[in-house]
Amino acid sequence: MKNPRRFPRLHLTLIIAIAIIVVFSLPDDIDDVSSPKGSPKIVDIPLNLGKPSTPTTQLAPATPDAPAAPKTVETVEPDPKAQSAEAPKPAETQAADVTPVKVIEKPLSIEPQDPTTAPVTAPPVTWEPEYNITTHEHKVQSGDTLTSIFKRYGIPQKTLFNLLDYKGTKPLTRIKTGEEVILQITEDGRFVGLRYAIDPTDTLVVSAEDDKFKIDHEIHTIEYKKRFGQATIDSSLFLAGEKAGLSHALIMELANMFGWDIDFALDIREGDTFRVLYHEQWVNGRKIKDGPILVAEFINQGDTFQAIRYTDSDGNSNYYTPEGLSMRKAFLRAPLNFTRISSHFNLKRRHPVLHTIRAHRGTDYAAPTGTPVWASGDGKVKFAGWNGGYGKVVVIQHGQKYSTKYAHLSRIKSGIRPGKKIRQGQTIGYVGTTGRSTGPHLHYEFLVNGVHRNSRTIKLPQAEPIAKKEKDAYTRHSKKMMQDLETATRLAAHSNYE
């Protein structure tokens, strides 16, 4: 019996290779049921593809803490020359030359990119021509104008004229001595811009480009800080105020607050005391000024006077007593800052020039020539001009009942004429010695229904008290201010009040 025909070994090898190829051409999503989902599958493939050009690596299984990596397959490309040069070998010989290749499969995982580790794309770079810009900080001198300043720094007048045509540049025409104008100019003399502080809270900023201008304003916020001061008078109010750390402006404000009740030229005594709670105004970390006074107390010859600042619903600010009565009287007790009273109200005085007994129906306040004279109350100018022995005179009518006269003025302030309405404290003229006078002083008369009265002793009419609609709000405000004053006083006894 003939032996059955055997397949050649070469055919058998080809069949095995085709079977392996079919197996590995199956879809990737068929999982190995013998391993957990998501773990790597390692398969050995014996192929005679020549020696690998790079070593292969077997990856460790993924752990729960490590994120899954994208599926990767490490393969080795066959060398075409080696394949064409080598002849087929018997199966036994091929088996000895087979190099196992590791194919590693991992599930593909796509996660959002961490923005903190994402690559940063640099913004596009724009190149601009460079200019050497010089900044000039010019302090305004007496006689300076914007025209002379521009000329000094070589800026064409045409540039200035074009600039002043723009809306919002009018403040530049009103610069004052001591202020500062900051200019920026290129090396070739081209105007770049300027800065000018109109006031501590508003800075005008001009930028120039191609003969065109941009006008801006930098607005700065005022920060208010509370401060406290107190002192006992041993010589004068000003020296005591300076000792308490008050500026001259605050001392004057304090005197004006209580000026209707206290004559600071005649009534002050050694041992009088005062305490003040006030604001300081700061901008950008720099103190710009003091004030206003929030609450103050003055004890004069044993009498206590208290004043509280209150701003009503209409935005009007005034000082009132804790009970709501106005500190402001209808008339000032004295219509100027004076040195002394040179002659009192006296109906039997001997006239210093005529040397006869003639009634002195007013009060003479000695003061340097040029000292401002104020209207003692609201009213209307009745007369302004020369009046015989009185020299230059202003007479003001205050309603139907009261009138005041101001005589021997060196000059009458411009604009003061009959019929003009006047506010209390407004300057109407200046101290002089015109007419029959032996030295610079103000002769002041106070008339009630046409009869001369002693302005130093008459009980002055009170101004309007706090309005009824504001009464409740003011009562709460007054209570708080007096509490703050007491708190500041206690703190000052231990440390500086901030």
Tens digits of residue pLDDT in 77-124: 444 444 444 444 444 444 444 444 444 444 444 444 444 444 444 455
pTM for the full predicted model: 0.55
How many Å apart are CA 66 and CA 161, to the nearest integer? 73
Average pLDDT over residues 125-132: 54
pLDDT at 267: 84
Which tokens hold the place of 492? Answer: 């000052």
- The percent of residues in the chain predicted with pLDDT above 70, rounded, is 71
Other Cβ atoms within 10 Å of 423 Cβ, number: 10
Q: What is the rounded distance in angstroms from the CA atom of residue 383 to the CA atom of residue 389?
A: 15
**Residue 493 pLDDT level (bands cut at 50, 70, 90):** confident
pLDDT for the residue numbered 270:
94
Spatial distance between the Cα atoms of 457 and 460, rounded to a whole number of angstroms: 9
User: Tell me, what's the pLDDT at 5?
Assistant: 55
If you average pLDDT over residues 170-196, what whole number do you get? 92
Two tokens, residue 142: 């007496």
The pLDDT of 17-33, averaged and rounded, is 59
What would the mean pLDDT of 390-402 be, rounded to a whole number?
93
What is the DSSP track for 229-286? EEEE-SS-HHHHHHHTT--HHHHHHHHHHHTTT--TTTT--TT-EEEEEEEEEEETTE
The per-residue pLDDT of the chain, averaged, comes to 79
Indicate whether 426 pLDDT > 80: yes
Q: How far apart are CA 372 and CA 359, in angstroms?
A: 27
pLDDT for 297-329, tens place per residue? 999 999 999 999 999 999 999 999 999 999 888
What's the mean pLDDT in 226-250? Answer: 93
Amino acid 6: pLDDT: 56
Domains (ranges, CATH) in the chain?
A: 9-105 (no CATH), 133-219 (3.10.450.350), 223-320 (3.10.450.350), 340-453 (2.70.70.10)
